[in-house]
Amino acid sequence: MTAAADRHPIQRAIVRFDAEVDHALDRLRGRPLVDRLFYTASELGDFSLIWHTLGTAQGVRRGGDLAGTLRLTTALGLESTLVNGPVKNLFRRARPVSDVPRPHRLRTPKTTSFPSGHASAAAVFITVASENDPWRLLYLALGATVATSRIYVRIHHASDVVAGAALGAVMGVAFRAWWPAGTSAPRGLPRRRH
């Protein structure tokens, strides 16, 4: 590993940012209710469980909108394939190391740390599902909680989460352009006639 003095100024700034956010969260760690909140949020983010559940609920609320549910599921599947495959393989950043025992069980991912897949999935879901949905502020609050939980439980560095959220937002915007809301198929594919 490169000594801190040998790092590029941007790398030093990232390391400092990560350390400051981690230190700030130390003030909350160890409080039973806060621990339970963030560990539960982290678990619900595994495999985008919370986002698939909310996407299905959105389809039911919209009178059985199967095309809308399929659209969200497709967006989440593309995000997961891209982020957990080529993007993480490109960076191969090590996950944070902590000697502090965890107060709750937590699945340890096999992938590398950068960027956070939980944060990118949350951002994709928020960007795609929030179109014309009165629950968008709830989605935003849940997404922020799930993304922050990954720093809190020391599975990700803060910069992993920021990068994941930014990447997810970009992917979500691109997905919305490719597969517009209210259509049964992406652009360039034949649409089902009603």
Length of the chain measured in residues: 194
Distance CA 85, CA 79 (A): 10
d(CA 90, CA 34): 34
Identify the pLDDT of residue 5. 58
pLDDT tens by residue, the chain, 194 residues: 455 557 789 999 999 999 999 999 999 999 999 999 999 999 999 999 999 999 999 999 999 889 999 999 999 999 999 999 999 999 999 999 888 888 888 888 888 999 999 999 999 999 999 998 999 999 999 999 999 999 999 999 999 999 999 999 999 999 999 999 988 889 877 655 55
Which fold would CATH assign to domain 31-96+103-178?
A: Vanadium-containing Chloroperoxidase; domain 1 (1.20.144)
CB 123 within 8 A of CB 165: yes
Q: Which string of b and e fits 21-48 if b means at least 16 CB within 10 Å?
A: bbeebeeeeeeeeebebbbebbbbbeeb
Q: How far is C-alpha 132 from the geometric centre of its chain's CA atoms? A: 21
Helix (H) or strand (E) holding 81: helix 66-82
Give the integer Cα–Cα distance in Å for 129 and 51.
9
